[in-house]
Amino acid sequence: MRRLILLIFGLVLSACDTGSLRVQPVEEWQQPSTDFQVDVLTFREISQRVGDVARAECKRRSNVSNCDFSIVVDLNPRAPANAFQTLDDDNQPVIIFTRAMIQSVENADELAFVMGHESAHHILRHIPRQSENSRESAAIFGELARIAGANDADLEQAQKLGAQVGAQIYVKDFELEADRLGTIITHRAGYNPLLGARYFARIPDPGDRFLGTHPPNAQRVEIVLETSRQLGLTQ
């Protein structure tokens, strides 16, 4: 059972493993060139404002105890445009931006929206929820294999498959949840999520693939529009 738990935890965190990354806190990072639409001082201000709102929202929820957000930059100049949320060794939330990600945004609203989205993943407990889904699915697949008379090797393979399916099956829903709360966080931090969501127009559309990691861009934009209307935003 311990081996299975370690397998599941590894599957859930494999996409956000920071062990091989060289990162630097946003407060210390210096832009390597002027080829950025958002300068480093603005980036730090966004991090402070969005971080404060995210921390307050996190502390407001009784089921989340670790709310000390850190925002850092991946120093690898070849890393593709990406931002993601993970946990450090003390189980505190870390939001990581690659240099290409910072370079790809066109204004402060887009950067704030991405940051709000990533902080929402932590507040909504998506890593532990994904781990729970993976564990439950692994147990179900393993039990079905056992009933079918699988040997030890086949049983382990069934558990691995179940863990992978469980880790993926709700991730698109998680993205939409994070878009909704991220819209609220962005607005509360003083930025415009409607302008921020224009970033979706410039990134590839993942389509509606079974076990895909992200929902279609149009669906994500609709969530932002709907939530913004509820906040009284129209433009």
232 sits in the region (left: phi over 0; alpha: psi -120 to 50; else beta) called left
Q: Which amino acid is at 118?
A: E
Percentage of residues of the chain with pLDDT beyond 90: 54
Phi, psi of 19 (to 5 degrees): -60, -35
The per-residue pLDDT for 167 is 61
**What torsion do the CA atoms of 96, 101, 102, 106 make, to the nearest 10 degrees?**
-140
Helix (H, G, I), strand (E, B) or coil at 213: coil
User: What's the rounded mean pLDDT across residues 38-57?
Assistant: 96
Encode 53-77: b = buried (16+ Cβ within 10 Å), e = exposed: bbbebbeeeeebeebebbbbbbeee
Residue in 218, 235, 214, 199 with CA at minimum distance from that of residue 109: 199
pLDDT band at 1 (very low <50, low <70, confident <90, very high): very low
Arithmetic mean of pLDDT over the chain: 84
Instruction: Give tens-digit pLDDT for 158-194.
Output: 777 767 776 667 788 899 999 999 999 999 999 999 9
